[in-house]
Every structure is written in C-alpha cells, then in structure tokens.
Amino acid sequence: MSDLPFGFGPSDDDESRRSGSGGGGQGGQGGAGGFGFGPGMGLPGGAGGAGGFDMGQLGQMLTQLGQMLSQSSGPGAEGPVNYKLAAQMAHQQLGEDGKKAPTSEQQRAAEESVRLAELWLEDATTLPSGASQVVVWSPAQWIDTTMPTWQRLCDPVAQRVAGAWVEGLPEEARQMAGPMLGMISQVGGMAFGSQLGQGLAQLAKEVLTSSDVGLPLGPEGTAALLPGAIATFTEGLDRPAGEVLVFLAAREAAHQRLFGHVPWLRQRLLATVEEFAHGISIDTSRMEELAREVDPTNPASLQELMSSGMFEPQTTESQKAALRRLETLLALVEGWVDVVVGEAVGDRLPGAVALGETLRRRRASGGPAEQTFATLVGLELRPRRLRDAAALWRRLTDERGIEGRDAVWAHPDLMPTADDLDDPSSFVGERRSVAPSEEGAAPKSGESFTDLDDPLARLEAEMKAEQEARGSSEEKPDEPGDDKSS
C-alpha cells in the first residue's frame, strides 16, 4: 500500500502546502486545511492567538462553517463521504470540455466498432456477448454513472478511518468532543468528498473504457467508451484511429462477457476491495501519550500531532492477504482478456500486438489511473502478474481448448491461485478433470454460468429431467377410437 486513503499520513513537506497558500480552500489539504483549520486558525496574534482571543472572529468562523455545511447538505451528503460535494468538485475541475456530450458520429463509430469486435470474439471464447447496449461517455458522464460503484468502494475506507480515529481518542477527549462528533463527522465527510472529487476528475480524463481500471465500474450489460480520452491516447500511436477504436472496443466487449456471464466475478472483485478496506486499523498505542503533549491554546501543536504519522493506517496481515487475492484476480481477468482479444483480432488488425503491449506497459507503469485509485481507496489497483496470467491462459487453451479454458470460470474454487501462476504446468495437470464434458464445463452458446455454479439449481434441473423421463414412459391415454364404452 504505497498511498494512504483519503490523505491520512505524514505531513507534506511542500512549503506552500504547509502554509496553506495556493488553493487551501480545496481538498482539505495543506497546513491551513481545506476548511480553514491549521496553525493560527485565523485568530489574532498568530498561532495560538497570542494577541488575545477574539470571540467575534471565532463566531464568524463558525458561521462560515455552518454555511458551508448547509450548502453541501442534501441527498448524497450523508454518510462517511459527501458524494454530493465529490460530484460538484469533480465537475468543477473538469471544466466545460469535460462536460461536452459525445457526438452522434462518435456514438455510431463506437456501436460499429463493438459490433465488429463482438463478431470476431465469437470464435475466441464460449462466453456469449455481455453487452446489451453500447454508449459513449464524456468524462462528466463517466463520473456520474460510476459514482454508485465508487460509493461502495470508498464507504468502507472512510468508515474505518473515521471510526479508528474516534476509537483511539483518550476517554477524556472523547467525552469533551461528544457534542461535536456529529459536526466533526460531517466535516470529515466533506474532506473525504473533496478528495474523492479531485481524484475522480483526474481519473475521468484518463480512462478509455468502463473497464479500463480492471473493475466493473459501470452498469451491468453496458459497453462504454470515452472518445475524448481515446483520441488523446491515439495521438501518441502510429496506428489509424479506427484500428485503435476497434481494438479498445474488443477489450471492452471481452470484459463485459466475463462480467456478464461469470456471476460471481463482479461480486468477488468488489468484495475483495471492501475486505481490504475493512482491515484498516490505526495504531493507537501512542495516541493518549501524544495527546497529553498537545497545548489546547496552540493550534500549531495540534497540527504537529496530526502530521506526526500517528493516524497513519497500518497494513495488516489480513490486508496483505486481500491485496494478494485482488492482484491475482485482476491479473487473471486482464490476462484472459489479453489472450481472447489477441486470438480474436490478431490476424485482422495489423497493430494488435503493438497495441496490446502499449496497454500492458500503461498498466504496469502505474499511470494516473492507478495512482488516483491508490489515493482514493488506499491500494494499488495493478495486475502485477498480468504476463504470468496470460501465459497460463494460453497454456490452458493449448491443453484443453477454448471450452476447457473458459470452463475454469465456472466457479471461484476452480480458479488459479498466485502459486499456480508460478507453476502453470502443475495447475493444468492437476485440473485436467475440469473438461468441457464434465461438471463445471463451459456454457453452450447463449448460456451463462448462472446455473452451473449453483448446486441446488443443478440438482433441481436433474430432478426435473428425471420426472419428465418418467412421465414419458407412463402408459399413454387411449386413442379416441379405442373407447370401448361407445
């Protein structure tokens, strides 16, 4: 975990951030604080109000705080993160260019590219199409559409950070702060929302498709492309724009096939991120000792305490295990997409190999998308073992064919582990019983794994088949001409 969620951790050494200059009103960052709290706190006489405590200025500060809380209240403002503020800040930072809706020509080009890609994918995987609609988004539309998923990802992080902070307060301090905890929670939600808004604005300018970060952020059954970011991405490549668009459409369509027809996958990816967040803990062993050293008349000492690292979340063993599982699953998803798309378009798009390598390097280098996600959720969303996973999927294809390879997605217990990525041959040899003709086999065209991974559904289907078989063997009703009573 290279970044700390929502800015908790040691202080920034940048002098301008400590002094609060250069935009201290945004994001809750910098020494002056995004909400005006920091050394001096605006009181006369400098830090600690050495020149006397001015109740008038204190009242003005509280009035401004109340106005700020009122303006950012309403639907989406409750909870550990103020998502209303996050959306407002993200839209503000995008500017007008980020809000321009894609044109009808861009929509038509995306639909044609996805339609062509879906046709090519039919021969590369047994999973049927997972996209019921194709859309193009502006950065602003990406933010609005993916916000529900971000709420699910960020809520556990914010709740754990805020909860651990309150739990670590000395009992006396907790009692004194009791009446203000509600307001503190509201201010904290605004701080989290501010940082989320900044992060999403940056991320919205970078993502190429709805699945670009490896998670199913968009609505189910929706293949989405972002023409603005794709155009910027294409500028640095020596390939025709249409070829790049079809290649990215194929990757998006392949992701949607997985997310749409492997029902446990979407839930497992998001749940693993949540599991990582629930493991957040703060070392409170020194909090009481450090709190005694704080001079309540000197806000600078409080700032020094906050920047000492005492609130820095500690990486636990459970988090390390969750991160390892998440990285492995992400690598397996991206590796499968790499292999399937390569088989589908390799002989049809001259630049497919080069485009695939460009995207792999883009992910491996930890670009703005990964860095932003690390700041928002507290972990690096990077498939570190993508190449190993792709090699395993190719080996499975060679050994079992397309159906046998895709059959592995039937149940999470059949999936390769991190150790299997180290030794693909062992995995292939041990799992040879998972074949297309056996339990857990890949679905036929037009089917999904929904019933295959549910033993009860499978048993019910078998019982129904037996009943139908018995019914067909029972004696048939008499023919009309056989009625002897007439």
Instruction: List phi, psi (to 5°) of 30.
Output: 95, 160
**Which pLDDT belongs to residue 146?**
95
State the number of CA atoms in the 13 A half-sphere of 17 facing the CB.
11
- The CA–CA distances, whole Å, from 326 to 210, 246, 333 equal 19, 29, 11
Q: Are residues 266 and 213 in the same domain?
A: yes
Domain presence at residue 72? no
Q: Are residues 361 and 397 in the same domain?
A: no
**Which pLDDT belongs to residue 361?**
86
d(CA 37, CA 40): 8
Q: Are residues 450 and 354 in the same domain?
A: no
Domain presence at residue 11? no
Q: Are residues 210 and 135 in the same domain?
A: yes
Give this prediction's pTM.
0.71
Q: Are residues 95 and 158 in the same domain?
A: yes
Domain presence at residue 412? yes
Q: Are residues 339 and 411 in the same domain?
A: no
Which token pair is 118? 């879906």
Domain presence at residue 480? no
Q: Are residues 212 and 358 in the same domain?
A: yes
- Domain end (from 343, 377, 411): 377
Give residue 101's Cα distance to chain centre: 24
Give the domain extent around 439.
389-462
- Domain end (from 349, 377, 405): 377
- DSSP symbols for 253-320: HHHHHHHHH-HHHHHHHHHHHHHHHHT-EE--TTHHHHHHT--TT-HHHHHHHHTTTTTPEEPPHHHH
Domain presence at residue 384? no
List, run by run, the mean pLDDT of 10-residue segments along the chain (486 residues): 44 42 38 34 39 50 50 56 92 92 97 98 97 97 95 82 66 68 72 87 93 91 97 93 98 97 92 79 59 62 55 71 89 96 95 93 71 67 84 95 96 94 87 43 46 43 56 50 46
| Amino acid at site 177 | A
Torsion angle (degrees, nearest 10) of CA 201, 205, 210, 214: -90
Domain presence at residue 402? yes
Q: Are residues 259 and 408 in the same domain?
A: no
Burial of 297 (0-12, 13-18, 19+ CB in 10 A): exposed
Domain presence at residue 430? yes
Q: Are residues 211 and 319 in the same domain?
A: yes
Give residue 232's Cα distance to chain centre: 23
**Which pLDDT belongs to residue 154?**
84
- Domain end (from 377, 405, 439): 377
Q: Are residues 310 and 436 in the same domain?
A: no
| Amino acid at site 22 | G
**Which pLDDT belongs to residue 278?**
74
User: Considering its fold, how many domains does the chain have in total?
Assistant: 2
Q: Residue 135's beta-bridge partner residues? A: 224
**Which pLDDT belongs to residue 298?**
64
d(CA 249, CA 204): 18
Q: Are residues 218 and 326 in the same domain?
A: yes
Q: Are residues 234 and 163 in the same domain?
A: yes
Domain presence at residue 33? no
